[in-house]
Amino acid sequence: MPTEKLRPLEDYARKRDLTKSPEPAATVKPRGDQPRFFCVQKHLASHLHYDLRLEHNGVLLSWAVPKGPSLDPRTKRLAMQVEDHPVDYGDFEGVIPEGYGAGIVMLWDRGTWTPVSPDVDASLKKGDLKFTLDGYKLKGSWVLVRTSGRYDRSRSADSYGPGRGDGQGRSWLLIKHRDDWSGELDITTFAPRSVKSDGDLEDILAAEAPDIWRTNRPVKGGETGALLAEIVERAARLKAIRAAIVPARRPSKTTGTSRSTKRARAKPKKTARSS
Ligand code: MN
């Protein structure tokens, strides 16, 4: 094959200073085919978007979906293919203080995925990847279809980085197939929170570093800048509220212990010889 292949995760490592970023190391982890992991991360960076990641050959194939997935088969969502991510990224949730992707990452959904055709590389090459998802929020039959490339040179495409560097177009459409899991429900507003922490973006920020962007935010202008400013303020308020209620909660730990002690006492153990 004449196409020059990048080393796995080379793009991922090149874009980040992994000595400073809290993001996982660029380690390829072949784990066999079954089951294949998938996740969707809600990522407030220069734009709010959703990153769909599908495990394949020891990495996570990744697409940035600006509007997030839609359960409605009539709504095709633009999905820009971006650099492969390490498998360990699938559990990542937190704050990227600065640099590439600076912002807040929420683990919005996770589960397993199954390709319809076992030859995933052939499907990718063809630009037609059919699969099923079994997550908390996303389920059933889906397809990613590569477009003719009319989005590839758009300004909005640039904000998701230079793509995979494999010379092929990187704009795809993510489409839900009609089945028991399709419908008109807007899943991103119906189920906006994390499947890992149950938090919203401000909770994730408050838990880690609520003060980090009180000055010098990574995004300043426009809609996203305003959204981030609001989240920073909400995180600061959450931090203040938590600081006030945490000491009051501590005694309940003792209550919890005594309750379980009582329960243990109320239910005497049968001895092995009692029957
Ligand atoms: Mn992203």
From the CA of 84, how far away is ligand 1's center (Å)? 11
From the CA of 201, how far away is ligand 1's center (Å)? 14
- What pLDDT does residue 135 have? 98
From the CA of 179, how far away is ligand 1's center (Å)? 28
From the CA of 98, how far away is ligand 1's center (Å)? 14
From the CA of 48, how far away is ligand 1's center (Å)? 8
Q: Cα(33)–Cα(232) distance, rounded to whole angstroms?
A: 40
Tokens at 247, concatenated: 């000491």
HEC per residue, the chain: CCCCCCCCCHHHHHHCCCCCCCCCCCCCCCCCCCCEEEEEEEEECCCEEEEEEEEECCEEEEEEECCCCCCCCCCCEEEEEEEEEEHHHHHCCEEECCCCCCEEEEEEEEEEEEECCCCHHHHHHHCEEEEEEEECCCEEEEEEEECCCCCCCCHHHHCCCCCCCCCCCCEEEEEECCCCCCCCCCHHHHCCCCCCCCCCHHHHHHHHCCCCCCCCCCCCCHHHHHHHHHHHHHHHHHHHHHHHHHHHHCHHHHHHHHHHHHHHHHCCCCCCCCC
From the CA of 43, how far away is ligand 1's center (Å)? 5
- What pLDDT does residue 30 have? 87
From the CA of 209, how far away is ligand 1's center (Å)? 19
- What pLDDT does residue 209 have? 80
> Tens digit of pLDDT for each residue in 104-143?
999 999 999 999 999 999 999 999 999 999 999 999 999 9
pLDDT band of residue 1 (cuts 50, 70, 90) is very low
- Contacts of 155-158 spanning 24+ positions with Cβ under 8 A: 156/47, 156/66, 157/80
pTM of the model: 0.81
Residue appearing with tokens 């640099």: 99
From the CA of 212, how far away is ligand 1's center (Å)? 20
From the CA of 79, how far away is ligand 1's center (Å)? 11
From the CA of 103, how far away is ligand 1's center (Å)? 9
Tokens at 102, concatenated: 């600076």
From the CA of 83, how far away is ligand 1's center (Å)? 10
Minimum mean pLDDT range among 3-7, 33-37, 197-201: 3-7
Minimum mean pLDDT range among 11-25, 38-52, 170-184, 247-261: 247-261
> Tens digit of pLDDT for each residue in 40-89?
999 999 899 999 999 999 999 999 999 999 999 999 999 999 999 999 99
From the CA of 157, how far away is ligand 1's center (Å)? 12
Q: Cα(217)–Cα(49) distance, rounded to whole angstroms?
A: 18
- What pLDDT does residue 217 have? 82
> Tens digit of pLDDT for each residue in 153-188?
555 555 555 555 455 679 999 999 999 999 999 999
From the CA of 254, how far away is ligand 1's center (Å)? 42
Whether the per-residue pLDDT at 249 is higher than 60: the answer is no
From the CA of 246, how far away is ligand 1's center (Å)? 33
From the CA of 219, how far away is ligand 1's center (Å)? 14
Whether the per-residue pLDDT at 208 is higher than 90: the answer is no
pLDDT band of residue 253 (cuts 50, 70, 90) is very low
